[in-house]
Amino acid sequence: MKKLSLVLVLMLLLTAIVTGCGAEDEAPADVADEKVEDFSIEIQLSHVFSPKDQLAIEMANAADIIRERTDGAVDIQVFDSGQLPVYKEGLEQVVRGANFISVEDPSYVGDYVPDFVALIGPMLYETYEEYAAMMETALVAELKERAAEEGIKILTLEVMFGFRNMITDKEIVTPEDMEGLLIRVPNSQLWMETLGAMGATATPLPWNEAVPALRQNVVHGIEGSATTMLHHKIYEMLGNVSMTKHFLGTAGVYINTDVFYSMPEKYQKIVQEEFVAAARRNNEILIANNEDVVNQLKEKGVKFNEVDSDAFRARTAVVFETFEGLTPGIYDRIMEELKAIRGN
């Protein structure tokens, strides 16, 4: 009898354990639903662009759509024109784990994964389509994984805002024409080394100091896109664009990996989708409007001239050889990818 009772007790205990395990197996789905329902986060997004720039418009659009699709659970507050930390300091906020999205040139990710510098290095891309195709390669996927290991989740690298050219009062055709010119650049080692190789004296200044520096003749010119020249009324101070196309102006959207993965998967997907969509809308409008922007500048008296691209390419090749931290052979890998993209 005692044996029977013992067996009965053991069976009851076993049933309780199995039932308990079943309850635990079901818990994650219930907890996940509860997390989505209760989750909320406020994130600051910072960039340096003017509210009139298409990039700024699309970042604001993305934030609005994300807020709507998450019923306000993911509230991204957009700060344009460098109101919050930008450039190097913006990426630092991301890496430190702040609820912060930085929209910056990929070269700033190069502080953590140097090969990003090579990816957007001087005189690489001839068309917008080439850059977009490069972003789909295994090489870039590998670089994104390395960035994630440093705490940087890359939501997109595809935002473009035009080829960057020399904007001065002087017509520039060869590197020799750059000698003696003080040119404002962002505080980026890549920019400083590239403009130096091109023959200018690179002068790093925050963007909000660039226009005052031009007015006071602290610098002789800037390098930037036609859109930047139009929206910031640089044509009131400088009248010539030399088509060096030394960089394709691009930006990525970056968030801390822990912050991103702290969101329910449902919201992660929405955030990722909307910033990719914003980049693509931006690029379509950029390409469609480029001719109109150039024509508006010409109507304001701005002159455009072609340059000796081969001479500038020869001068800037040294950047890929001397920039600290680049993986040996990275330039060759990039050029192989470009060769395949071009069908050569």
Q: How confident is the model at residue 344 (pLDDT cuts 50, 70, 90)?
A: confident
Q: Which fold has domain 40-342?
A: D-Maltodextrin-Binding Protein; domain 2 (3.40.190)
**18 pLDDT more than 80:** no
Task: Encode pLDDT of 92-150 as tens digits.
Answer: 999 999 999 999 999 999 999 999 999 999 999 999 999 999 999 999 999 999 999 99
**Euclidean distance between CA atoms 76 and 62, whole angstroms:** 9
pLDDT of residue 35: 65
Task: Encode pLDDT of 29-77 as tens digits.
Answer: 433 455 687 999 999 999 999 898 899 999 999 999 999 999 999 999 9
**191 pLDDT more than 50:** yes
DSSP-assigned letter for residue 113: S
* CA proximity to 104, closest of 150, 154, 33: 154
> Which of 15-19, 165-169, 195-199, 223-227 is predicted with the least confidence, judged by mean pLDDT?
15-19
- 23 vs 154, higher pLDDT: 154
pLDDT of residue 187: 86
DSSP-assigned letter for residue 264: -
Answer whether 250's CB lies under 8 Å from 156's CB: no
Burial class (CB in 10 A: 0-12, 13-18, 19+), 224: buried
